[in-house]
Amino acid sequence: MQKLAIQGGTPLHGEVFISGAKNAALPIMCASLLSAEPLQLNNIPDLHDVSTMRKLLQQMGVAIDLQGELMTLHGAGVNKLEAPYDMVKTMRASVLVLGPLVARFGEARVSLPGGCAIGSRPVDLHIKGLQAMGAQISIEHGYIHAQAKRLKGARIFFDIVSVTGTENLMMAATLAEGVTVLENAAREPEVVDLANCLISMGANISGAGTDMISITGVEKLHGAEHRILPDRIESGTFLVAAAATGGSITLRNTSADILDTVIEKLGEAGAKLRVEADTIHLEMHKRPQAVNLRTAPYPAFPTDMQAQFMALNAIAEGSAMMVETIFENRFMHVQELRRLGAQIDVEGNTAVVRGMPRLEGAAVMATDLRASASLVIAGLVAQGETVIDRIYHLDRGYAHIEAKLSQLGASIRRLK
Ligand code: UD1
């Protein structure tokens, strides 16, 4: 198993290019199932999750050509309407094929995702929504089997805000008969990016980015070209890493508009930030101040940035209270951060972090994608060497992370 070895204590300095957003690329790749014409996507990030989705779609019969960051997906030959367990268990986002398959082909068999490291994460809202649109759904041998002659528009209320739930039903509704209204829909920028791509494919969608999305179904969708928006979580991770190490960095090819709460919290921590067009510049000249935060659906503070800020708070001046409201088991990095000397108490969904003047390098284990990012940040700050095991989690969502960090002056290498 591959590991990362980090020699901590060097402030990050320099420029880094931000990749396309994983959480936009995955649903948008699934949109290729909705049309028999080619979908050309730009700014595709080089990530393990993207390769997993590529393999899944290829197994279904989508022809895919990848040239660097340009991916063309051609859904004319789709002939296998199934997402098998071995794929879905490694990547929950595989469930995003469900809506498009039922909408275009009237049938899908998608494995239930099962347990996952950051909580039970059911897909009941995806299933209920499709049922409201007239799909017959049965659960057989661990698979969701959905059938529908043609889906029908419906009014669907989400009692919990769900990002992939909103995306799955929005895709399904593009080819349904009549109007679908999604209420209490997710407002994440990645939902808006998917809606924009679907609109370029001929879909009739309004309200994406608000909590009420209205979709009028059309007979078919056509080919299109789309550029994936920048990854706000990768952007936020580099900004926190620079702030925690007391560095100065410039992010290129990003967007500050979708990072409001993260930028605000970094300002509270004492960082100086400057935004110009697609560039964000951050400088940190002192020890960070501890920042309280509470995760919640967009536009509030993202759960995918909670772990990284915990690493920052671990070496900050003062104490911080961090509340996780989205996932029930998303504090697994706490045990590992403690191995580096962090002082963190957890009670239910609240962590209280008492900032320490320094952390010390140690061997730690990555448990999920964003937890891994927090360990990298802590390792960059800690005195001496930190070795992070199970970094395959990191490769799922961060493109070329050690190359990008090395370019910023970090002493980091991959142990094979
Ligand atoms: C997406 C993101 C993930 C991010 C999360 C929250 C992708 C590929 N992944 O995950 O990076 O951390 O949003 O911003 O975009 N829930 C149910 N029933 C459902 C669906 C969800 O109870 O049918 C619950 C979940 O258990 C969780 C909450 O709703 O407690 C939000 O989950 P959701 O927004 O669906 O997360 P994902 O879309 O899986």
Given a cut of 90, is residue 360 above it in pLDDT? yes
Nearest 5°: the CA angle 88, 91, 96 is: 70
CA dist 308 and 241 (Å) reads: 8
pLDDT at 121: 73
The b/e string for 210-232 (b: 16+ C-beta within 10 A; e otherwise) is: eeebbbbbeeebebbebbbbbbb
Distance, CA of 261 to chain centre: 16
Which amino acid residue places its CA nearest to atom 1 of ligand 1? 163
Distance of CA 297 from the midpoint of ligand 1 (Å): 10
CA dist 330 and 296 (Å) reads: 13
The reply to whether ligand 1 has any atom less than 6 angstroms from the CB of 326 is yes
198 or 114, which is more confident:
198
Given a cut of 70, is residue 386 above it in pLDDT? yes
> Which residues are CB-contacts of 214 (< 8 A; sequence separation ≥ 6)?
179, 180, 181, 182, 205, 206, 207
The reply to whether ligand 1 has any atom less than 6 angstroms from the CB of 128 is no
Backbone angles phi, psi at 205, to 5 degrees: -130, 135
Distance of CA 230 from the midpoint of ligand 1 (Å): 20
Sole residue written with tokens 């110009």: 276
pLDDT at 115: 55
Q: Which of 1-5, 13-17, 99-103, 218-222 has the lowest mean pLDDT?
A: 1-5
pTM above 0.95, yes or no: yes
**What are the contacts of 119-124 at 24+ separation with CB within 8 A?**
119/327, 119/328, 119/329, 119/330, 120/328, 121/92, 121/327, 123/95, 123/165
pLDDT in tens, 293-342: 999 999 999 999 999 999 999 999 999 999 999 998 899 999 999 999 99
CA dist 130 and 24 (Å) reads: 22
Locate 217 and state its tokens.
């179904």
pLDDT at 329: 83
> Which residues are CB-contacts of 185 (< 8 A; sequence separation ≥ 6)?
158, 161, 166, 170, 191, 207, 210, 211, 212, 213
Q: What is the mean pLDDT of the chain?
A: 96
Annotated catalytic residue within 76, 116, 403, 415: 116
Which amino acid residue places its CA nearest to atom 17 of ligand 1? 122
Quick check: helix, strand or coil at residue 121?
coil
pLDDT at 116: 56
pLDDT in tens, 250-306: 999 999 999 999 999 999 999 999 999 999 999 999 999 999 999 999 999 999 999
CA dist 366 and 102 (Å) reads: 36
Locate 178 and state its tokens.
């009549």
Candidate from 48, 128, 324, 326 with most ligand 1 atoms within 8 A of CB, to mutate:
326
pLDDT at 118: 54
Residue 154's pLDDT band (cuts 50, 70, 90): very high
* Alpha helices (H) along 323-368: 333-339
E-strand ranges in 207-245 read 212-216, 224-227
Residue 113's pLDDT band (cuts 50, 70, 90): confident
pLDDT in tens, 239-251: 999 999 999 999 9
Give the number of C-alpha atoms closer than 13 A to the C-alpha of residue 304, restricted to the C-beta side: 20
The reply to whether ligand 1 has any atom less than 6 angstroms from the CB of 95 is no
pLDDT at 114: 64
Backbone angles phi, psi at 293, to 5 degrees: -160, 160
Give the number of C-alpha atoms closer than 13 A to the C-alpha of residue 386, restricted to the C-beta side: 31
CA dist 232 and 305 (Å) reads: 10
pLDDT in tens, 26-58: 999 999 999 999 999 999 999 999 999 999 999
The reply to whether ligand 1 has any atom less than 6 angstroms from the CB of 115 is no
The reply to whether ligand 1 has any atom less than 6 angstroms from the CB of 373 is no
Give the number of C-alpha atoms closer than 13 A to the C-alpha of residue 17, restricted to the C-beta side: 8
Sole residue written with tokens 């393990």: 48
CA dist 184 and 13 (Å) reads: 41
Distance of CA 255 from the midpoint of ligand 1 (Å): 23
The reply to whether ligand 1 has any atom less than 6 angstroms from the CB of 257 is no
| Bridging pattern class, strands 363-365 and 385-389 | parallel
Quick check: helix, strand or coil at residue 140?
strand
Quick check: helix, strand or coil at residue 211?
coil
Supply the angle between the helices 22-30 and 189-200 in degrees, to the nearest 10: 30
Nearest 5°: the CA angle 231, 4, 322 is: 55
- DSSP 8-state secondary structure symbol assigned to residue 175: T
pLDDT at 117: 59
pLDDT in tens, 168-205: 999 999 999 999 999 999 999 999 999 999 999 999 99
Q: Is 30 a catalytic residue?
A: no
